[in-house]
Each structure stands twice: as structure tokens, then as C-alpha cells.
Amino acid sequence: MLVRDVSVRHAVVLVACALVLVAAPTPGAAIPHGEQTEAHPYVGVVALVGEIELGTLEDFIGPTGLDLPPDTPVYPNILGFSGVLVDEHVLLTAAHGTGADLEALLGPTLFAAFESFRAFVTFDAHVPGGPGQLLLTGPATPGWFEGEPVAHEDFDDFAGFPATFDIGAVLFEEGLDLDALGIHGDDLPLIADVGYLDRALTGGNRGQLPLTVVGYGAHDSRIGGVVFGPDGAPSLDLQLDFDDHRAVGEVRLVNLQSALAGGHNLQHSGNPGRWSGGTCYGDSGGPVLHGDTLVGLTSFGTGGVLCRGNTSFAYRVDIRAAHDFLEAIGAPLPE
């Protein structure tokens, strides 16, 4: 199976200072080669935040520079990714950014050291640190909204391709005040109906169907050497550059039936390429749009850990497995 060159594109693992970056497939970034944008106000940054005592956290990751008693609760961002609001109660994102595999990701010892985990979302176009934002001041950070993270029940941390089920959500029980956020109902994208892309991608426009990708991911990445985790295991020191801003790029739909797409994912042009965009770490869960229609959620890419390959993949929302999940969480589906 062609997984050794696949990288889960788009959740940034921050605890342990990037000691791990979701290893099997490669997750997504800040729309390399894209442009900063104030448009698409329904696209936000999602932070999966854990509560842990400062002294315990520093036992794992070293000094934080915080001059506080060691028993002070702090709230580090564990995963950072992107998401797309489809109504006042539902923000869609990638399952691999919701914490569905959090114990495996952090390891049982570090996982057990946290008191709790929460998901927070902001829709500010400018977010210092992008998905790398650290919420160390407390859970009630202004401009961030708490919700419940959920993942598709069949998501299994990319155990198999192409049926990854990499779709999740953050649910807001009370609903968000869209007017206060400057989001109009007409701004929200429409979820594609089942089979939308199969009808849109014909032989005559293969490689030419225009799509838009939006996210807060890294615009560049590089290897800084080797670091060692709390358990002594070595890993690459993957260094990410964020421009702290929502970004947008134009790509082209390449394939729906390749080995890694297989009717579950869409394959689009990546970085660098002829078009203006691509995806990388932090873009996971961000929307892939055909006009005003949501057709996919950024998921993974090929070309190694540096997001410099030429192919990116998104989990399709126009397939039955996605619609079953969307119906179960109360997302607005086309009639």
C-alpha cells in the first residue's frame, strides 16, 4: 500500500514541542503559494486544548518560561488545525484533528497527565501563531469559542486507504452568534450532495476543474535535525513557518479514483504547482470548495514531510459515508 510517502497534512501537534507530527500519512499547512484573505469568514482555527499542571507539563517538555507556581493549571494547545462552519451549531474539520487518537498520539503517560481536553475555535482572520497558537492563559480566552469535538466512528488513524473516514466536527450546543462574528447565513458554503464531484469531473475537464482551498496552515517547512521525545525515541525536528493569517489558494481537481483517492478522497494539485495554492500542516480540516459548494476537507498529502510534493488529498463530503456522519450530527444537508 502506498502509505510510506503519505503525510497526514494538517493537524499540528504542539505538546512536546513538535516531538511528533502525526506520522503515517502527512497532515496539512498554511496554503503555500496562496494569499492572505479576509474572505471566507466561516473558516476558523481549531485548537484542541488540554488542562495540565505547569510543573507536570515542564517535566515532559522542559521549561516554558512561565513564572508561575508548579501546581498552576495551564492550557497548552495540543493539536492545531482548520475548520469550516456550515451552520451556527456545526463546524466541520478533519477527524485526525479532533483528538480521536489522542492517547496513541501523546503516549499513555503524557495522556494520563492531563486533567481534561477541550476544543476551541476562533474565526479571526489574523491569529498569531496560526494553528500553533498556545492558550496558556486559561480556557476563557477572548475570541475563542468552546465546542465538543467528534469524529466519524470508523476513523482509525489512517489504518487503511483510501477509506480513511477522516471527517469530524466541533459542535456548539448553544449555537454561535453569526451576526456578532460578522458572518451572514448566505456566506456559509453549501454541502455538496452525494455524487456531486463524480458528475462535475468529466473526461473533458480532468485536471482543469477549479477548486479553492482555505486554511491557516504553515507556508513553509524544513527539517532542523533530530530531537528526542519524553520516552527517548528520536524523531525529525520539523520546523514550520506560519504567517498568522487565513489564506486561500486555487488548485485543480486531478483524480477521484487513484489508489489513494478510491472514491473516498479527492486528489488535487499541490505545492509547488501551476496554480496558486497547496496545503500543508495546519490546513487539515479546512474546506475545499467548488464555487460556493463544500466538496472536501483537507486531509493528507504525498511528497514527504516537507509539504513540497505535488499532490494533496481531501476527504470527500459528497459520498454516502460522509452524509451519514453529517446527518447524525445535525449538519445541514442538501434536499
Give Cα 45 distance to the centre of its chain. 8
Per the structure, the complete domain to which residue 247 belongs is given by: 6-329
Helix (H) or strand (E) holding 199: helix 196-200
Q: What is the mean pLDDT of the chain?
A: 81
**What's the pLDDT tens digit per position in 6-39?**
445 444 444 433 222 222 334 443 454 557 788 9
User: Is 117 a domain residue?
Assistant: yes
3-state secondary structure of 303: coil
Asked if the bond preceding 76 is cis, omega within 30° of 0, the reply is no
- Residue 44's pLDDT is 95
Check pLDDT > 70 for residue 117: yes
- Residue 170's pLDDT is 97
User: Is 202 a domain residue?
Assistant: yes
User: Is 335 a domain residue?
Assistant: no
User: Is 108 a domain residue?
Assistant: yes
Q: Give the CATH number for residue 325.
A: 2.40.10.10
Tell me what the mean pLDDT of segment 142-148 comes to.
89
User: Is 1 a domain residue?
Assistant: no
| Spatial separation of the C-alpha atoms in residues 28 and 11, rounded to whole Å | 6
As for how many domains the chain has, the answer is: 1
Alpha carbon of 113 to those of 106, 109, 155, 183, 215: distances in Å? 10, 6, 25, 38, 31
In this prediction the pTM is 0.85
User: Is 334 a domain residue?
Assistant: no
User: Is 78 a domain residue?
Assistant: yes
- Residue 193's pLDDT is 98
